[in-house]
Amino acid sequence: MSPSLFQILAAFGISAGAASLATPLVRGLALRWGHVSLPVHDRWHSRPVPFLGGIAIIIGFAAGLTMVDRWAPIAPLLLCSGLMALLGIVDDFSRLRPLTKLIGQMLITGLLLILVSPPAITGSIIADQLLAFTWIVGITNAFNLLDNMDGLSAGVAAIAGVGYLGLMLSGPGSALTVPFAAFVGAAAGFLVYNFSPASIFMGDGGSFFLGSFLGGAWLWLAPTEPRGINTTVVPMLILLVPIFDTAFVTYTRRRAGRSALVGGRDHTSHRLVALGVSERTAVLTLYALASAGALLAIGLGRLPIGPTLAGVFLYAMVVVTIGILLASTTEPSGDSEATTPPPLISDIAQRRRIYEVLADTGLLAIAYYAAFRLRFQGADFDVFFPPFVRSLPIVIGLQVAGLYLAGKYRQFYRSVSAAELGTLIKGLAMGLAASVLFVLFVFRFERFSRGVFIIDALVAWFFLVGARAITSGVDSYLRKVRVRGRRVLVYGAGKGGTLLVREILQNASAGLQPIGFIDDDPQKQRMRVEGIPVLGDRDSLATIVMRHDIAEIVISIRDLDPSQLTELLQECQRLQITLRRMRFSIDEVRPPTIVRRNQAS
């Protein structure tokens, strides 16, 4: 019997309320008992914070379980996640050795797999047992590692719980529906106090409970899913953020010659902050990534498989891109700022063209498949699908070759320019022509459609231009957030202003932060140049300086009239701000002059 909507909402509300009431009480006890996390060099927080919040999460969860009707089906999961929480709480009080904690996690996971059979994934009982064992222990420790920034672990756990709830509510239902509603409520109630700036941490008791419950729950949910891809892909999509963070930290620490078990400020959240974003923005970015994975997991198996798989593939490309960008970012230091500015996506693509080629290959493959799906529906799909599969590798290869011959992989772009758009048109046209000729001579166009190639060209154009627009937007944002220094206005929004802003954004050592342009041309008002807005004209200079706390004005116009320059200087003196002027010169390099001194004989 499926639980009612009232039970689900009541479980969520009771848990959220109980957790939000228990958290301040637990915080007070932690402060009285002296259980406070002190700042250390390899941890992110910079002030003492109590860390027994996991107890409040468990209290809230237990309160929500009062709405459960049937206890027997879920008792093994509740028992083992409770034992995991107890192990974490013991560690919070007495600081167990890492190996001791790992052995305890393994014993508890082994007990769970004695009580509950693992899902049939490989067809081999032994292999399925090993996979389930590794999954539960791994996810438990993944949430423990993810607890590295205010609100991150609790928020991602709540999102994952909502993803699981979405699966159960859109499917045949599960005995875990009410417990998961309580789980989400408890995490959300605690998150009120744990989000930045956190007044309490969850500790190992909280992270062990969240991870073990989410990892172990799949033993109950997997049998309700079709065997095959959904059994493995769905949980990985829901829990991708902790999985990605654990894999990323393990790889980067091994590459740096450090143990993966030693803490550090090198998690995905820390590297996002190193890019120049705020701590809250970094956490919200990972929330968005987790939410996208949960939505795709819910859609997989319930929506048409073609569009859903295309979405999963695009999502995977985004995650890989983020991983490459973060791996190229210097680990943030608590003592001083990074000596080198964080890289841009365009910088990485310029240095390693293989990344750009692989990204284009993936986008072109999705575009070709999308064109095929749009052209053929119903029974026609089964008829025309086999030749599509046979032609896919060579067609994509010819399209990438067309982009290469057109010169796309020799361009360096900072924004989507007319030159780049022209190169894309030329490259796609060459690839389309070569693909049509190949299909004509090899397959005689039997069970092929010319309409597929026309649709493919349009979709591929949309994908490639969209990818470059997104890349340019991200790069523009990163340039602005990583620049620190005196707030400046640029006088002149023409070509000189564009050149000046690019240099300021690229050269963080200049110590200038461009806030906007002023320009007397009415047609340039409210425009954006390199992502920087034109704020007004000379007449509104005083208002702009006061509103935006401007410290300097930099003139980008080379041939500014001397009288205008004098007036501008007088205005800056009145406003007590500095006036600078951009200079550009090409000087001959001469050999150094050697001065010889006469030596007394």
pLDDT of residue 336: 43
Token pair 């028992």 in the structure block, residue: 79
Nearest 5°: phi and psi at 547?
-70, -40
Residue 587 lies in a domain: no
Residue 588 lies in a domain: no
On whether both 217 and 303 belong to a single domain, the answer is yes
On whether both 139 and 281 belong to a single domain, the answer is yes
Residue 246 lies in a domain: yes
On whether both 494 and 473 belong to a single domain, the answer is no
On whether both 554 and 522 belong to a single domain, the answer is yes
For residue 96, pLDDT over 50 is answered with yes
Residue 353 lies in a domain: yes
Report d(CA 392, CA 386) in Å as an integer.
10
pLDDT of residue 230: 60
Domain boundary among 443, 478, 513: 478
For residue 86, pLDDT over 70 is answered with yes
Amino acid identity, position 311: G
Residue whose C-alpha is closest to residue 497's, from 581, 372, 388: 581
Q: For the residues of 312-352, what is the DSSP string, one character each? A: HHHHHHHHHHHHHHHHTSPPP-SSS--SSPPPPHHHHHHH-
On whether both 464 and 319 belong to a single domain, the answer is no
Residue 518 lies in a domain: yes
- DSSP bridge pairs for 5: none
Torsion of CA 348, 350, 351, 354, to 10 degrees: 90
Name the DSSP letter for residue 118: P
pLDDT of residue 508: 67
- DSSP bridge pairs for 36: 50
Nearest 5°: phi and psi at 253?
-70, -40
pLDDT of residue 172: 59
Q: How many CB atoms lie within 10 A of CB 436?
A: 17
Torsion of CA 255, 256, 257, 261, to 10 degrees: -90
Domain boundary among 343, 373, 406: 343
Report d(CA 580, CA 552) in Å as an integer.
7
Domains in the chain, number: 3
* % of the chain with per-residue pLDDT over 70: 89
On whether both 101 and 213 belong to a single domain, the answer is yes
Residue 591 lies in a domain: no
519-539 pLDDT, tens per residue?
888 888 878 777 788 998 888
Q: How many CB atoms lie within 10 A of CB 555?
A: 22
Report d(CA 358, CA 93) in Å as an integer.
49
β-pairing, 49-50 vs 512-518, is unpaired
pLDDT (mean) for 41-46: 64
On whether both 319 and 435 belong to a single domain, the answer is no
Max CA pair span of the chain:
112
Question: Average pLDDT, whole number, for the chain?
Answer: 85
Report d(CA 70, CA 114) in Å as an integer.
21
Q: What are the C-alpha distances in Å from 89 to residues 57, 83, 191, 209, 378?
A: 12, 10, 19, 10, 56
pLDDT of residue 285: 93
Point out the least confidently predicted range of 382-391, 421-430, 574-583: 382-391
Name the residue range of residue 54's domain. Answer: 5-343
Q: How many CB atoms lie within 10 A of CB 256?
A: 10
pLDDT of residue 397: 93
pLDDT (mean) for 110-121: 87
Question: Residue 45's pLDDT band (boundaries 50, 70, 90)?
Answer: low
Report d(CA 90, CA 485) in Å as an integer.
47
On whether both 462 and 377 belong to a single domain, the answer is yes
Q: Which two tokens stand for residue 196?
A: 């930045």
On whether both 41 and 120 belong to a single domain, the answer is yes
pLDDT of residue 600: 46
pLDDT of residue 261: 66
CATH classification at residue 495: 3.40.50.720
> Which alpha helices (H) appear in 38-151, and where do they start and end?
53-64, 75-94, 98-115, 125-146
For residue 220, pLDDT over 80 is answered with yes
pLDDT of residue 158: 96
Residue 94 lies in a domain: yes
Residue whose C-alpha is closest to residue 109's, from 212, 231, 207, 204: 212
pLDDT of residue 223: 58
Domain boundary among 478, 500, 532: 478
Question: Residue 185's pLDDT band (boundaries 50, 70, 90)?
Answer: very high
On whether both 410 and 268 belong to a single domain, the answer is no
Q: Which two tokens stand for residue 377?
A: 């529906």
pLDDT of residue 241: 94
Q: What are the C-alpha distances in Å from 571 to residues 359, 520, 539, 558, 589?
A: 51, 16, 10, 19, 38
Report d(CA 208, CA 216) in Å as an integer.
12
Residue 597 lies in a domain: no
Question: Residue 138's pLDDT band (boundaries 50, 70, 90)?
Answer: very high
Rg over alpha carbons for the chain, rounded to the nearest Å, is: 29
350-389 pLDDT, tens per residue?
778 888 899 999 999 999 988 888 888 777 777 778 888 8
For residue 226, pLDDT over 60 is answered with no
Report d(CA 358, CA 344) in Å as an integer.
18
On whether both 228 and 94 belong to a single domain, the answer is yes
Point out the least confidently predicted range of 125-134, 187-196, 257-266: 257-266
pLDDT (mean) for 450-459: 88
User: Which comes out higher in pLDDT, residue 479 or 457?
Assistant: 457
β-pairing, 532-536 vs 512-518, is parallel
For residue 334, pLDDT over 60 is answered with no
On whether both 210 and 337 belong to a single domain, the answer is yes
